[in-house]
Amino acid sequence: MCEKSVEAHGLVSDPRSLAQALESLRGAEAVALDTEFIRTDTYYPCLALIQISDGQTTWLIDPLAFDRDELEPLISLLKDRQVVKVLHSCSEDLEVLRHALGVLPEPFFDTQVAAAFVGLGFSLSYQALVREVEGVQLDKHETRSDWLQRPLSPEQLRYAAEDVEHLLAIHQTLRDKLISLERFSWFEQDMDIMLKAAGEEARPEDYYQRVKGAWKLNRQSLAVLRRLCNWREQEARTRDRPRNRIVADKDTLQLAMGQPRSWQQLSALGASSGRDKAGLHPRVLRVYGDQLLALIEQARADAPESYPQVLPKPVPREQGGLMKQCKRLVQQKADSLDMAVEILVRKADLSFLLQSAVEGRANLSERIETTWRKGLVGDQLLALVGEGLAANSNAVQAEEGAK
């Protein structure tokens, strides 16, 4: 049973079969691409399967059966700029390919992003997109199966093959629509942004900025948080363990706020832990207690001028009305274009704009400032925020003058 399914889906598990598959793809202008991976107990994703299709034949490549150098012919295809690699919701695929094979597929076409550009909806699932464009209903039962097990089941093989079999037809439909709407150049800019982001390894020393609630800390506490997060990130990468299995974000924040200097103080933080109270997990104390105390002392010894700057605060409540005006403007523009509003401007973009304006000078986020979005809606947002802040300031002055 398993052997018939493997043959039907072209499982590739030896260099000769890989060479034959790649020879069949020679001259193709585009190939469909997907990966299956596991990321439950590791920092890095574990590549388990690579699916490639030319629209007629689908090959399932078993990366576990190859040495790294035996996959060089495949890597060459992924780097071939004459061949468009078509993927769906590809950010995680890009990450796993970069880590496992040291390559990013270039150029690539993300059908999920393209669908949002042409009004089919934001963050559309592959199944929903196939149903919308191809009129085909796909099964999704194998989404969370163990892709590292061998042999793979017939159901897994069928599911894996379906993940690429419709991509090229969808690619052609969406590409034609992007061109007819004169948005293909916009889409290409966004693909370049995604490629750049995928190729940049996040710096461990910058992770503290992503911790929820870090904006509440002063500079000295941020220095502690930065050192803790830097250590944790390097520890997680070295041990290949999820960062929150080392120390959870909430624990790093609590340590930065409390800054215990002894085991007694550290234990006091842990003693408050429980289902209804925030506190350090007992495992964190047991395994990393001495290390955490040392890191806190090192951060406290840093020169004040080396402390990081305080992080931007959330948009003040009094600017809520202006935020609503900005959202309304963006929604109206998106509706007029029949485009997903999230593709045009995200909430984070608006927060960045209003935060910078409150601090003295309104600035657009890089995502808006450097792309097609600036002329389309960015300049209007700047004008709206400038007028709104001026009106708010005049209202405050008038109120104070009336007292």
Active site (catalytic) residues: 34, 36, 93, 159, 163
65 is written with which tokens? 């059966």
* Strand blocks (E) in 150-251: none
378 is written with which tokens? 């960015």
d(CA 167, CA 129): 10
Cα 187–190–192 angle (5° rounding)? 115
What is residue 350's three-state secondary structure? Answer: helix
Backbone dihedral angles phi then psi of residue 211, each to the nearest 5 degrees = -75, 125
Which residues, including other chains, have CB under 8 Å from residue 360's CB and lie 6 or more apart?
none
127 is written with which tokens? 């199944």
DSSP for 231-277, written as a single string: HHHHHHHHHT--HHHHS-HHHHHHHHHH---SHHHHHHHHHT-SSSS
244 is written with which tokens? 């929150």
Which residues, including other chains, have CB under 8 Å from residue 235's CB and lie 6 or more apart?
241, 246
Give the strand order in the sheet containing 11-12: 11-12, 58-61, 46-53, 30-38, 84-87, 108-110
